[in-house]
Amino acid sequence: MFKRIDHIELVAQDCGRLERFYTDVLGFRVRSRTSVPGGLELTYLDLGGTTVELMHYAEARPAPREAGERFGYRMMAIEVEDMGKALAYLKGRGVEPAWGPIQRPSYARAEIEDPEGNRIELRQWIERP
């Protein structure tokens, strides 16, 4: 019945800045762009069969950033082949981990943030459960 996650939506303050981060740093490719009457701009980015939809509404406002955990969406996760190499590559692009890395018997995990503060988990599977 349910097949897969079709896409993830991010409401962006600056679509151009986020698009550059997701394409230039993380390797997504732009699939398409479109405008919807009423002022909505959409950009579809793909990576390995996953789509991130960047949405820009002229009237959107930033949500308050509160410390600690909260209910709701937390982050997306991107699988990496080698955590050390991924973090070294990101450091060369000016992106430092916001958390981690940690090593567990079956995986390594770290978190980064995109330019608008959206968390992205990096996960290297050593042994899938």
Strands (E), the chain: 7-11, 29-36, 40-47, 50-57, 76-79, 99-103, 107-113, 119-125
Q: Distance (Å, rounded) from C-alpha 77 to C-alpha 109?
A: 10
Per-residue pLDDT of the chain (129 residues; tens, 9 = 90+): 667 888 999 999 888 999 999 999 999 999 999 999 888 999 999 999 999 999 998 777 766 666 676 666 778 999 999 999 999 999 999 999 999 999 999 999 999 999 999 999 999 999 887
Domain count along the chain: 2
For 94, the domain range is: 75-129
| Position 69 in a domain | no
Residue pair 41/16 in contact (Cβ under 8 Å)? The answer is no
CATH number for 85? 3.10.180.10
Residue with tokens 């980015």: 45
The answer to whether residues 47 and 84 belong to one domain is no
Q: What would the pLDDT profile of 118-128 be if each residue is shown by its tens digit? A: 999 999 999 88
Q: Distance (Å, rounded) from C-alpha 45 to C-alpha 55?
A: 11
Which ranges of the chain does DSSP label H, i.e. alpha helix? 15-20, 83-92
The answer to whether residues 1 and 54 belong to one domain is yes
